[in-house]
């Protein structure tokens, strides 16, 4: 499942809810990343138990706690300008 689909699951849950409650309810769902997979349970248990008053708070945790496999190419952005005073990355041709 994608991160977007995972956020839809979190939006359906009744709040307030704790990290452990969400992990127990949705922990077996597997997230597909560009560089691998992980379960929602792995993501949610990566942080201390917290109580969320809304799905927005739970979604923010989800996006901040996913593994590095979710980010694609590390250090790459086609949107950020090169920092002043640096040469920036070399052009890559596919």
Tokens at residue 90, please?
């070399």
The boundaries of the domain holding residue 52 are: 3-70
Q: Is residue 19 part of a domain?
A: yes
Q: Is residue 90 part of a domain?
A: no
Distance CA 15, CA 27 (A): 17
Q: Which own/partner contact pairs does 44-50 have at CB distance under 8 Å and 24+ positions apart?
A: 44/19, 44/20, 45/19, 45/20, 47/19, 48/19, 49/18, 49/19, 49/20, 50/18, 50/19
Q: Is residue 32 part of a domain?
A: yes
Q: Is residue 63 part of a domain?
A: yes
pLDDT digits 0-9 by tens, 17-32:
999 999 999 999 998 8
**Tally of domains within the chain:** 1
Question: Looking at the whole model, is its pTM more than 0.75?
Answer: no
> Could you say which residues of the chain have pLDDT below 50?
none
Beta strands in 1-94 (DSSP E): 17-18, 30-33, 36-39, 51-52
Q: Is residue 44 part of a domain?
A: yes
Q: Is residue 84 part of a domain?
A: no
Q: Is residue 94 part of a domain?
A: no
- Please report the pLDDT score of residue 11 as a whole number: 94
Q: Is residue 50 part of a domain?
A: yes
């Amino acid at each position: 499942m994608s991160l977007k689909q995972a956020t839809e699951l979190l939006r359906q849950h009744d709040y307030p809810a704790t990290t452990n409650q969400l992990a127990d309810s949705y922990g077996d769902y597997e997230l597909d990343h560009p560089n691998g997979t992980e379960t929602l349970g792995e993501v949610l248990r990566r942080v201390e138990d917290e109580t969320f008053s809304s799905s927005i708070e739970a979604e923010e945790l989800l996006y901040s706690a996913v593994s590095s496999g979710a980010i694609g190419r590390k250090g790459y952005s086609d949107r950020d300008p090169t920092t002043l005073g640096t040469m920036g990355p070399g052009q890559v041709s596919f």
